[in-house]
Amino acid sequence: MGVLYLLFLLLSLGCMVLLDHRFRLFFFANARRAAVVLAIGLLFFTGWDLAGIGSDIFYRGETPFMLGLTLAPHLPVEEIFFLAFLCYLTMVVFGLVQLLAERTAERAAERTGERAAKRTQTTEQASEHPGRRPAERTQP
Question: Tens digits of per-residue pLDDT, 4-24?
Answer: 999 999 999 999 999 999 999
What is the residue type of 81? F
Question: Tens digits of per-residue pLDDT, 19-54?
Answer: 999 999 999 999 999 999 999 999 999 999 999 999
Rg of the chain over CA atoms, in angstroms? 28
Beta bridge partners of 72: 75
CA-closest candidate to residue 33, choices 80, 93, 95, 81: 95
pTM value is: 0.76
